[in-house]
Amino acid sequence: MINQTSWTLYAANEEAWLAMLHDCAHAEKSIVLEQFIFTNDEFGQKLINVCAERAAAGVSVRFLWDAAGSFTFFGTDIVRELKEKGIELLFWKTLIPSYFKVSSIRSWFLRNHRRTLVVDKKIGYTGSICVRDGMQNWRDTNVRIVGPVVSEMSNAFERLWARARKERKLPRRKLVGDPEFQYVTNYPTPGRRHIYADILKALAEARHYVYITTPYFVPTPRLVRAIKAAALRGVDVKIILPERSDHFPTLDLGARSFFSTLFESGVRIFLYPNSDGTIIHSKTMLIDGTWATVGSLNLDSASLLYNFEANIISTNTAFAEELAAHFVRDMSTSKEVSSVEWKSRFFVERIPEILIKLVRKFL
pLDDT of residue 3: 66
Label residue 175 by pLDDT band (50, 70, 90): confident
The string of DSSP letters for 330-359 reads HHHTSEEPPHHHHHTS-HHHHHHHHHHTTT
The continuous run of DSSP H or E covering 203 comes out as helix 194-205
Please give the Cα distance from 33 to 276 (Å, whole number): 29
Two domains, one topology: 6-179 and 182-362: yes
- Quickly name the fold that domain 6-179 has: Endonuclease; Chain A (3.30.870)
- In this prediction, residues 55-60 reach a mean pLDDT of 98
pLDDT in tens, 204-236: 999 999 999 999 999 999 999 999 999 999 999
103 pLDDT more than 70: no
14 pLDDT more than 80: yes
Instruction: Could you list the beta-strand ranges (E) of 102-166.
Output: 116-119, 123-127, 142-146
**Residue-range domain boundaries for the chain:** 6-179, 182-362
Please give the Cα distance from 148 to 135 (Å, whole number): 30
Asked whether 161 and 178 are in contact (CB, 8 A), the reply is no
81 pLDDT more than 90: yes
Cross-strand pairs, 185: 310
| CB-count exposure of residue 129 (10 Å: 0-12, 13-18, 19+) | buried
Which amino acid, 132? R
pLDDT of residue 75: 76
297 pLDDT more than 90: yes
Asked whether 310 and 295 are in contact (CB, 8 A), the reply is yes
Instruction: Could you list the beta-strand ranges (E) of 163-213.
Output: 181-186, 209-213
The count of residues in the chain is 363
- In this prediction, residues 2-15 reach a mean pLDDT of 91
Please give the Cα distance from 206 to 236 (Å, whole number): 9
Q: Model-level pTM greater than 0.85?
A: yes
What is the bridge-based pairing of β-strands 335-336 and 268-272? antiparallel
Label residue 94 by pLDDT band (50, 70, 90): low
48 pLDDT more than 50: yes
99 pLDDT more than 50: no
Please give the Cα distance from 143 to 279 (Å, whole number): 19
How far from each other are the two terminal CA atoms of the chain, in whole angstroms? 43
3 against 135, higher pLDDT: 135
Distance set, CA 172 to CA 6, 124, 160 (Å): 26, 20, 11
Percent of the chain at pLDDT above 70?
95
107 pLDDT more than 60: no
192 pLDDT more than 50: yes
Class of the CATH-defined domain 182-362: alpha beta
Distance set, CA 228 to CA 134, 200, 258, 264 (Å): 35, 12, 11, 9
261 pLDDT more than 90: yes
Q: Which of 210, 173, 179 is nearest to 299 (CA)?
A: 210
Among 67-76, 145-154, 161-170, 313-322, which stretch is predicted with the lowest mean pLDDT? Answer: 67-76
100 pLDDT more than 60: no
pLDDT in tens, 28-39: 999 999 999 999
Task: Choose the most confident range, by mean pLDDT, from 69-78, 164-173, 305-314.
Answer: 305-314
Helix (H, G, I), strand (E, B) or coil at 19: helix
Please give the Cα distance from 355 to 341 (Å, whole number): 21
47 pLDDT more than 50: yes
Label residue 110 by pLDDT band (50, 70, 90): confident
